[in-house]
Amino acid sequence: MSAKAKYRKDYKKPDYTVTDIFLDFQLDPQHTRVISKSQIARLNPEAQQLRLDGHSFQFASIKLNGQPFTAYQQDAESLQLNLSGLNLEHFELEIETLLKPAENTSLQGLYQSGDGFCTQCEAEGFRQITYMLDRPDVLARYTTRITADKTQYPFLLSNGNRIATGDMLDGRHWVEWQDPFPKPSYLFALVAGDFDLLQDRFITKSGREVALELYVDKGNLNRADWAMQSLKKSMKWDEERFDLEYDLDIYMIVAVDFFNMGAMENKGLNVFNSKFVLANPATATDEDYHNVEAVIAHEYFHNWTGNRVTCRDWFQLSLKEGLTVFRDQEFSSDTGSRAVQRINNVKILRTVQFAEDAGPMAHPIRPEKVIEMNNFYTVTVYEKGSEVIRMLHTLLGEERFQQGMKLYIAENDGKAATCENFVSAMERASGVDLTLFRRWYSQSGTPELTISDEYDERNHIYRLHVSQLTAPTHDQLDKINLHIPLKIELYDPQGKQQELQSETGLVSNVLDIMQNHQTFEFHHIYARPTPALLCDFSAPVKLDYAYTDQQLLLLLRHAKNDFIRWDAAQMLLSNELRQNLQRQQNGEQMQVSPLLLDTFHSILEQYQQDVELTALMLTLPKETEFAEQFKVIDPSGIHQVRKFLQKSIAEHLKALSLKIYHRIDLPEYRIERQDIALRSLRNVCLSYLAVTEFGNALVNTHYLHANNMTDTLAALAAASSAALPCRDNLLTDFEHKWAHDGLVMDKWFALQATRPDEDVLQQVTKLMDHPSFNFNNPNRLRALVGSFANQNPNAFHAIDGSGYRFLVEVLIKLNRSNPQIASRLIEPLIRLGRYDAQRQTLMKRGLERLAKIEDLSKDLFEKIEKALD
Ligand code: B3K
Ligand code: ZN
């Protein structure tokens, strides 16, 4: 496999395209035969060579217009046809390939999941099935015929409509599918197997009936309802908010256990990781329920933003992903709590995305250079991509944004588009000049806004001085100024919100930051105000403003903006953490400011004003969240100080949290907003009480009385992180109950991997042989190895290098079996620049060892090369 980089600037239109393709699959775990018949049209009259992508199968034969064809050359990644002298404008190619799905552990292309077959073609998996112009700007009409044993594989599914079926004399049967919408190969899908089926229907707003089919493993029907409800809710919402209606007569979702990511939006036939489909109160937490709904929505929304309008090339990935994430976030905000949704999104951005921008994999939301495309399904392309759309929405407002969407879709329906097509439609529909704004697409890194203020008491003018600066990143040294929407509010010393006025009248609360330094003046301000900066987190930036504790307390109590109130609490906690880390390093006694403790006490006391926000404000940031504020991270220091903060807060809130813990009574489990909020607050109380003298008894009872997974897991997590005496009994009980169910056991594996114990690594190593563990299942790997490396920084970054060595061993194995998962799991190891010299040396040693692997995958190569650079 060549590790050659591709550049965005090198995009060229294809010389040939495929207009129609007929695929014939004869399925067998060891001997699958695929015949593809494509109608090819020449687009460039000069072209003489046709290069088709393909690898990892046995090539059996090729015919051109029905005749055996021999004028080709083959290499490890492609088949090149020499068509010179033939002068063919249109022709048919018939290619036969042989596959072994049972041996395909990469989970790309056609593979076996459990006893069934499924495919994953995005980004470049189709070329593992047959030779193809495997690029998103080649759109073809697909007809797919699947033949397989009828008893083992009663369901044979592909995209579009079922047009014919038949039985064969030898016990096999076949089904033929036709997808009327031309699509790129990455949206092709095939599934075969035996399933339980949940059926429903949806009537679109124009009155068409759509059959909804949800396929789950046998025996899992009692976990399928929520996903079906979520699908119908998403379909309705997209009609109401975006005026977008579903276009086929059938929509299918299949849940599989072996899947590299969350889910895949194949036209009319979504394939899902079962983690994002299956849910019932006994197996899924409130968070799982939320995630199922959000992922179902996300994949459904892709039908318009991704499938009907697709990407011209993979550098444009954020065109569909950033936009679709924005749409799913809006869906969750409209149908649930906007504030909770926003805060949770911001947490991901600040921890994971900011970290990516500060590390060796930094890239703009529209990357310039790619070696392995699968490495670019990142938080930057997805979440920062969504932030860029959100900023556009803030600048344009809902009405003009929707006009822009309409124009974008009208102009690009049925086509492969670029990010520029999108921005240009938004610009033309709204009349807003987006020249400067476009830079968000090409500049990587996290901008920092440095803000200072001054109050002119005599003239009652308040001024904000705002500067922007983006520090150089690994991929890009020179940075320029961006268009940043900064949403603000001002509060007087009594906490009353002030109107924003210029000399001439009211002004918008969204400031357009466009230059390196700008000053904004607000008139008729009669006392020095406290500014609420970056309301709703109006841009994905870091903020540097010297808030005093008093100002933060004022915002925390009075700000109208929920995000600002939550963020004020976070800043107070961060200050405490930083000061105590300092004290600890100086060998001084740690302490927590009584002001913070009293504030937390009064927030909790008034929880009924806003239960959701109270729970979020009182949740102590994770070690990884705290870590992100430091240039050089001290994992063990953060671990200890966080523990100290937790204990101090717990002691101070003890009586009150015990009272509230007992007062909140939710006898029945319901997935309803108010109940979810109360459950979460009660479990926050439990997490603090766990480290007090009440801990063991309370947590034990909580576990025993739990009638749902949210409470069960809250008890286990509290027992585990506080290392309570009841912990091992509870974990064993859970293990016995769920050993048969990998998905539920993932929660247990994750808990084991994040134990605060000294010997956690030995335990994790041992668990790799646990009967419920399976090295080839990405969910298991993420739960055990991923949780250890990402969520247990104290152990992973152990100063003896044992955590790094463990990960390297796993990666050496995974490099062969599943390079995509290997490349996900290596992430914490490539961020070596953020640690002290000793750790850096150890991490580097691990990376160098990996670099020497003989058959190193492109996926790992790309990241290791950058990290060692
Ligand atoms: N589009 C897929 C992700 C494909 C990842 C390929 N490595 C799921 C999604 O974003 O909806
Ligand atoms: Zn997506």
Q: For residues 266 and 338, state if they share a domain.
A: no
For ligand 1, atom 9: residue with the closest CA? 264
Cα 264 to averaged position of ligand 1 atoms, centre (Å): 5
Neighbours of 424 (CB within 10 A): 17
| Cis, peptide link before residue 123, omega less than 30° from 0 | yes
Q: What would the two tokens of residue 745 be?
A: 């056991």
Of all atoms in ligand 1, which is nearest to the CA of residue 262?
8
Residue 594 has what pLDDT?
97
Cα 380 to averaged position of ligand 1 atoms, centre (Å): 14
pLDDT in tens, 331-374: 999 999 999 999 999 999 999 999 999 999 999 999 999 999 99
Using the 8-state DSSP alphabet, how is residue 627 labeled? H
Distance separating alpha carbons of residues 562 and 613, to the nearest angstrom:
8
Cα 262 to averaged position of ligand 1 atoms, centre (Å): 7
User: Are the CB atoms for 283 and 741 separated by under 8 Å?
Assistant: yes
Q: For residues 645 and 710, state if they share a domain.
A: yes
Give how far the C-alpha of residue 291 lies from the chain's centroid of Cα atoms, to the nearest Å.
11
Calculate the alpha carbon distances from 694 to 62, 142, 406, 532 in Å: 73, 63, 58, 39
Neighbours of 489 (CB within 10 A): 20
User: Are the CB atoms for 18 and 140 separated by under 8 Å?
Assistant: yes
Of all atoms in ligand 1, which is nearest to the CA of residue 295?
11
Distance separating alpha carbons of residues 188 and 830, to the nearest angstrom:
34
User: Beta partners for 331?
Assistant: none
Cα 301 to averaged position of ligand 2 atoms, centre (Å): 9
Nearest ligand, CA of residue 859?
Answer: 1
User: Beta partners for 710?
Assistant: none
Q: What would the two tokens of residue 527 be?
A: 């006392």
Q: For residues 78 and 57, state if they share a domain.
A: yes
* Residue among 264, 301, 320, 328 whose CB has most ligand 1 atoms within 8 A, to mutate: 264
Nearest ligand, CA of residue 321?
Answer: 2
For ligand 1, atom 1: residue with the closest CA? 264
User: Are the CB atoms for 153 and 117 separated by under 8 Å?
Assistant: yes
379 CB within 6 A, ligand 1: no
Three-state helix/strand/coil letters over 97-128:
EEECHHHCCCCCEEEEECCEEEEECCCCCHHH
Distance separating alpha carbons of residues 16 and 30, to the nearest angstrom:
33
Cα 320 to averaged position of ligand 2 atoms, centre (Å): 7
pLDDT in tens, 621-673: 999 999 999 999 999 999 999 999 999 999 999 999 999 999 999 999 999 99
Q: For residues 298 and 360, state if they share a domain.
A: no
- Find the DSSP H helices in 364-432: 379, 385-412, 419-430
Using the 8-state DSSP alphabet, how is residue 658 labeled? H
Of all atoms in ligand 1, which is nearest to the CA of residue 306?
1
Backbone φ and ψ of 483, nearest 5°: -95, 110
Residue 610 has what pLDDT?
97
Say which residues have a Cβ less than 8 Å from residue 847's Cβ, sequence separation at least 6. 829, 830, 832, 864, 867, 868
230: part of which helix (H) or strand (E)? helix 225-242
Distance separating alpha carbons of residues 226 and 237, to the nearest angstrom:
16
Taken in order 507, 511, 515, 516, the sign of the CA dihedral is: positive
Q: Is residue 311 part of a domain?
A: no
Distance separating alpha carbons of residues 795 and 782, to the nearest angstrom:
16
User: Are the CB atoms for 504 and 392 separated by under 8 Å?
Assistant: no
Say which residues have a Cβ less than 8 Å from residue 280's Cβ, sequence separation at least 6. 222, 223, 225, 226
821 CB within 6 A, ligand 1: no
* Residue among 108, 260, 261 whose CB has most ligand 1 atoms within 8 A, to mutate: 261
For ligand 1, atom 4: residue with the closest CA? 122
Residue 2 has what pLDDT?
60
Nearest to 536 by CA among 590, 495, 485, 608: 485
Q: Is residue 760 part of a domain?
A: yes
Verify whether residue 862 is a known catalytic residue.
Answer: no
Q: Which segments of the chain have a pLDDT < 70?
A: 1-2
Residue 776 has what pLDDT?
98
For ligand 1, atom 2: residue with the closest CA? 264
CATH no. for residue 521? 2.60.40.1840
841: part of which helix (H) or strand (E)? helix 837-851
Q: For residues 107 and 244, state if they share a domain.
A: no
Q: What is the DSSP string of 726-789?
A: THHHHHHHHHHHHTT-HHHHHHHHHHHHT---TTHHHHHHHHTT-TT--TT-HHHHIIIIIHHH
Q: Residue for token digits 């005093």? A: 548
Q: For residues 187 and 206, state if they share a domain.
A: no
CA-based R_g, the chain, Å: 28
Q: Is residue 585 part of a domain?
A: no
Distance separating alpha carbons of residues 558 and 790, to the nearest angstrom:
36
Using the 8-state DSSP alphabet, how is residue 262 labeled? S
Q: Is residue 349 part of a domain?
A: yes
Give 3-state DSSP helix, strand, coil % of the chain, rounded to 5. Answer: 45, 20, 35
Distance separating alpha carbons of residues 672 and 666, to the nearest angstrom:
11
Residues 118, 417, 52, 859, Cα dihedral to 10°: -60
106 CB within 6 A, ligand 1: no
Distance separating alpha carbons of residues 403 and 430, to the nearest angstrom:
7
pTM (two decimals): 0.99
CATH no. for residue 12? 2.60.40.1730
Q: How many domains does the chain have?
A: 4
Nearest to 291 by CA among 300, 302, 278, 281: 278
Cα 298 to averaged position of ligand 2 atoms, centre (Å): 6
Residue 495 zone, left/alpha/beta (φ > 0; ψ -120 to 50; rest):
left
Distance separating alpha carbons of residues 233 and 296, to the nearest angstrom:
10
Nearest ligand, CA of residue 372?
Answer: 1
Q: For residues 635 and 747, state if they share a domain.
A: yes
Residues 129, 135, 139, 144, Cα dihedral to 10°: 10
Cα 833 to averaged position of ligand 1 atoms, centre (Å): 29
Residue 195 has what pLDDT?
98
Q: For residues 504 and 627, state if they share a domain.
A: no
CATH no. for residue 261? 3.30.2010.30
264 CB within 6 A, ligand 1: yes
Q: Is residue 403 part of a domain?
A: yes
Say which residues have a Cβ less than 8 Å from residue 327's Cβ, sequence separation at least 6. 238, 242, 297, 298, 301, 305
Burial class (CB in 10 A: 0-12, 13-18, 19+), 749: buried
- Find the DSSP H helices in 690-726: 695-705, 709-721
Cα 328 to averaged position of ligand 2 atoms, centre (Å): 9
Q: What would the two tokens of residue 385 be?
A: 């991509």
Q: What is the DSSP string of 172-189?
A: EEEEEEEEEEEE-GGG--
* Residue among 108, 253, 265, 298 whose CB has most ligand 1 atoms within 8 A, to mutate: 265
Nearest ligand, CA of residue 270?
Answer: 1
Q: Residue for token digits 């109950």? A: 737
Q: Is residue 779 part of a domain?
A: yes
Distance separating alpha carbons of residues 239 and 98, to the nearest angstrom:
43
Q: For residues 143 and 228, state if they share a domain.
A: no
Q: For residues 355 and 297, state if they share a domain.
A: no
Burial class (CB in 10 A: 0-12, 13-18, 19+), 453: buried
- Find the DSSP H helices in 413-543: 419-430, 439-442
Distance separating alpha carbons of residues 323 and 328, to the nearest angstrom:
9
Q: Is residue 22 part of a domain?
A: yes
Q: What would the two tokens of residue 331 be?
A: 């869906």
Q: For residues 862 and 774, state if they share a domain.
A: yes
* Residue among 122, 314, 327 whose CB has most ligand 1 atoms within 8 A, to mutate: 122
Distance separating alpha carbons of residues 718 and 726, to the nearest angstrom:
10
For ligand 1, atom 3: residue with the closest CA? 264
Distance separating alpha carbons of residues 769 and 758, to the nearest angstrom:
20
Q: Residue for token digits 């987190």? A: 537
337 CB within 6 A, ligand 1: no
261 CB within 6 A, ligand 1: yes
Q: Is residue 592 part of a domain?
A: no
User: Are the CB atoms for 821 and 813 separated by under 8 Å?
Assistant: no
Q: What would the two tokens of residue 286 be?
A: 């409130």
Q: What would the two tokens of residue 208 be?
A: 């068409």
Q: Which domain covers residue 275, as residue numbers?
A: 202-210+218-303
383 CB within 6 A, ligand 1: no
Instruction: Tell me the angle at which helices 709-721 and 695-705 cross, rounded to the nearest 10 degrees.
Output: 160
User: Beta partners for 200?
Assistant: 212
Question: Of these residues, 122, 124, 293, 299, which one is catalytic?
Answer: 299
For ligand 1, atom 10: residue with the closest CA? 321
Q: For residues 530 and 442, state if they share a domain.
A: yes
